Structures are given as C-alpha cells and as structure tokens.
Structure 1
Amino acid sequence: MIELTFIEHSGAEHTVSADAGTNVMQAAIDNGVPGIDADCGGACACGTCHVMVSTEWLDKVGSASDIEITMLEMTPEKNERSRLACQISLSPELSGLVVNLPEFQM
C-alpha cells in the first residue's frame, strides 16, 4: 500500500492508503477526501481534480502532458506545482506523497 496525504485549503490533512497503479484522484475518492470533484471520472477532461504537488515531490511525480496542461489552464488557482490528480499514477516510489487541494475546483 502507498500512503499519501491530502492537505485541504483550510489546512486539514487526510492521510490515506492506496494500491500501486491507482491514481491520486481515485485514492481521494475511495477514501472520502473532500475537495476532489472528479466530474469526468479521471478522463483528463474537466480539471476538477486539481492538486498542487508539494515541492519535494515534483521531480518524482514528473511533468504534465500537453492535454493535462490544457485542462490546468482553466483552473483559477493554477501554479507551477499544479497537476490533475487523475494523471498521477501511484507507484511505490510515491509513498509519502503530499498534495495540497485548492480552495475551489473549477
């Protein structure tokens, strides 16, 4: 199991476990983490699973694809750490991952 922590805009933390191969969005949904809407169900088509990856994890998570970047352009709180949770596949190397949630999803 891979452990990851979601930090809400308010500062509330949710540490959850998920299987390798699951994506960050699905880990949030499966564990009832508030703040991930996932309207498109993980198809990289809506931007409602926007997260900001903690700086120390950026290299391990990797960069966004072109389509993900296009979706992120529509999010009001986008920054250099922004990713769509549906596009981050969990692997053992990401155990301990920390992501911040925006105040609002688009």
Structure 2
Amino acid sequence: MIIIHDRDDVRHELEPHDKKALLLQLRPMKVGIIGLCNGNAACGTCHVYVEKEWLDRLPEPDEYEAEMLEEVAGRRENSRLSCQIEYGPELDGLEMTVAPRS
C-alpha cells in the first residue's frame, strides 16, 4: 500500500501494482496527478513530495527527471516525479504528497 495526500491534505490509500509507474496508478484516483507527458519526465504535472524517510529507498533521479525537477515550481529536496517511481514491494508503506500546481 502507498499513502498519497492530495493538495487539500486528504489522505488516500492505494494498493499499487508491481512494476508499474505510480503516475499511471494515481492519475485515475483524481488526487491531482495529471501526467500530461504520459510519463516521459517532460512536464512536471506529476510532481510529488516523498516523505524524507523514503527517499533513500528510491533510485536516484535519472538525467531527464533531474532536469525536469530543476524547472518545477515549489521544488524541494524531497521532490520527485511520480512517473519515474516504479512500485515494488520495497516501497510498501510509501507516503507522499501531491505538490501544488504552479
């Protein structure tokens, strides 16, 4: 299970599928994840804040995600793009918040 807080700080729970990007699983929940670029790390509309205790369990952002994160409004040290986070059992309990829109 993962926990996502929407922009109104309403908590939602998701039982995600393994090996599938979180963007694709969160978008249908209508929590504020848009993903205009369909997971290509090119738009920033799936920007989330990952709870800091989970950051070291995620792979480092690749060059495309890192470049996009440099451009998103409201960037923080714990910013990630949900399109680049693939769920696996090691992420059970992951908690994140949808970043505000710019």
TM-score by length of 2: 0.92
- Is contact 1:53-1:100 (8 Å) kept? yes
Check whether the contact 2:7–2:31 (CA below 8 A) recurs between aligned residues.
no
Secondary structure (helix, strand or coil) at the match of 2:71 reads coil
Query: 2:14 aligns to what SS in structure 1?
Result: strand
Runs of 4+ in 1 over 4 A off after TM superposition: none
- Residue 35 (structure 1) aligned with residue 14 (structure 2): no
- Counterpart of 2:79 in structure 1 is 82
Residue identity opposite 2:10 in structure 1 = A
User: 2:17: which partner in 1?
Assistant: 19
Q: Mind listing any 5+ residue stretches in structure 1 that lack a counterpart? A: none
Partner amino acid for 1:9? R
Paired positions, count? 102
Per the normalisation by structure 1, the TM-score is: 0.89
Quote the sequence identity (%).
Answer: 32
C-alpha RMSD of the superposition: 1.2
Contact 2:22 2:85 in 1 (8 A): yes
